[in-house]
C-alpha cells in the first residue's frame, strides 16, 4: 500500500498556515515546477502532486478531513513507538553502584546525589508529547 504524501511538506508550508500562505506557496512552486518551465522527467508527476496538495489544503472541508486522518496516522505511529520504548536500565544500575560507593565513603553525598540521579534517570526516559 502506497503511503499518502504529506501535503504540507509538498507545499512547503506549516500545518497551521493561513489560506493566503498556502495559495502563495502553491503559486510559487507551480511557477517553478510547471512542466512547461521545468524540463526534468519528473516535472509532470511533481505538478500532479502539487495540484493534489493544493486541492486538499485550499478546501476547508477537505483540509479538516485530511488533518484528522493525518493526526490519526500520527497517533498510530507513536503508539507503536511508545509500547516498545524502555527506560534506560543501564543508567539505573550505574547510579545504584555510584550511590552505594557514596554511602560507603560519605553518607551526606548520598542525600544530595541520590535525588539528582533519580531526576536524571526520569529525564532520560521522559519523552515529550507532540501536538
DSSP string, 53-66: HHHHHHSHHHHHHH
pLDDT tens digits for 16-37? 889 999 999 999 999 998 989 8
Q: Are 54 and 26 in contact (CB under 8 A)?
A: yes
Is 7-84 a domain of CATH 1.10.287.110?
A: yes
- The reply to whether the predicted model has a pTM over 0.75 is no
- Check residue 1 and give its pLDDT: 41
The C-alpha cell at 90 is 543501564
pLDDT at 46 over 70: yes
Q: What is the pLDDT of residue 42?
A: 86
Residue with grid cell 495540484, as numbered in its chain: 51
Do 13 and 21 contact (CB within 8 A), yes or no? yes
Report the Cα–Cα distance between both ends of the chain, in Å, rounded. Answer: 27
For the chain, give every domain's residue range.
7-84, 89-125
pLDDT in tens, 67-116: 888 877 765 554 454 444 555 677 778 777 877 877 787 777 777 777 88
Amino acid at each position: 500500500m502506497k503511503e499518502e504524501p504529506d501535503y504540507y511538506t509538498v507545499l512547503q508550508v506549516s500545518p497551521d498556515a493561513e489560506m493566503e500562505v498556502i495559495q502563495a506557496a502553491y503559486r510559487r512552486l507551480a511557477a517553478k515546477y510547471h512542466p512547461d518551465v521545468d524540463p526534468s522527467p519528473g516535472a509532470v508527476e511533481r505538478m500532479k502532486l502539487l495540484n493534489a496538495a493544493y486541492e486538499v489544503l485550499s478546501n476547508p472541508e477537505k483540509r479538516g478531513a485530511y488533518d484528522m486522518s493525518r493526526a490519526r496516522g500520527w497517533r498510530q505511529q507513536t503508539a507503536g513507538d511508545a509500547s516498545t520504548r524502555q527506560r534506560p536500565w543501564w543508567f539505573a544500575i550505574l547510579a545504584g553502584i555510584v550511590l552505594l560507593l557514596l554511602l560507603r565513603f560519605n553518607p551526606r553525598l548520598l542525600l544530595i546525589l541520590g535525588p539528582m540521579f533519580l531526576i536524571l534517570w526520569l529525564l532520560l526516559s521522559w519523552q515529550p508529547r507532540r501536538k
